[in-house]
Amino acid sequence: MEGGAYGAGKAGGAFDPHTLVRQPHTILRVVSWVFSIVVFGSIVNEGYLNTPSEGKEFCIYNRNPNACSYGVAVGVFAFLTCLLYLALDVYFPQISSVKDRKKAVLSDIGVSAWETCS
């Protein structure tokens, strides 16, 4: 593959799903997408309990509803950002403007750094 601006070949090439699937960042995005479903699903399905003595649901994490809400929010945000950047990975070779490619790469780095720090 010829070198190009911001990690891609020359713009305007045909879409090649085999190349897309073999890229490490695409594989990691799919794995992250699956883990976000696991986090979201496990907290939504098993994160809240009802006891017979109490008529109200409570979060299993120290009976703090904010803990469950935070986990659900992180799972949903991770799910949506994974889908967004998977779509961007598909569309990225078609972007011809170096400035637009730079914005895409920098937004990916920024969102990844923000998710890591939070």
> Which of 3, 1, 5, 2 has its CA nearest to residue 97?
5
Token pair recorded at residue 60? 């299993």
**In contact, 108 and 81? CB cutoff 8 Å:** no
Whether the predicted pLDDT of 2 surpasses 70: no
55-65 pLDDT per residue, tens: 778 888 888 88
- CA-to-CA distance for 108 and 78, rounded, in angstroms? 13
Are 44 and 72 in contact, with CB atoms under 8 Å apart? yes
Please, are residues 48 and 60 in contact by the beta-carbon 8 Å criterion? yes
Domain boundaries, given as residue ranges, for the chain: 23-117
pTM of the model: 0.74
pLDDT in tens, 26-56: 899 899 999 999 988 888 888 878 777 877 7
Contact 28, 86 (CB under 8 A): no
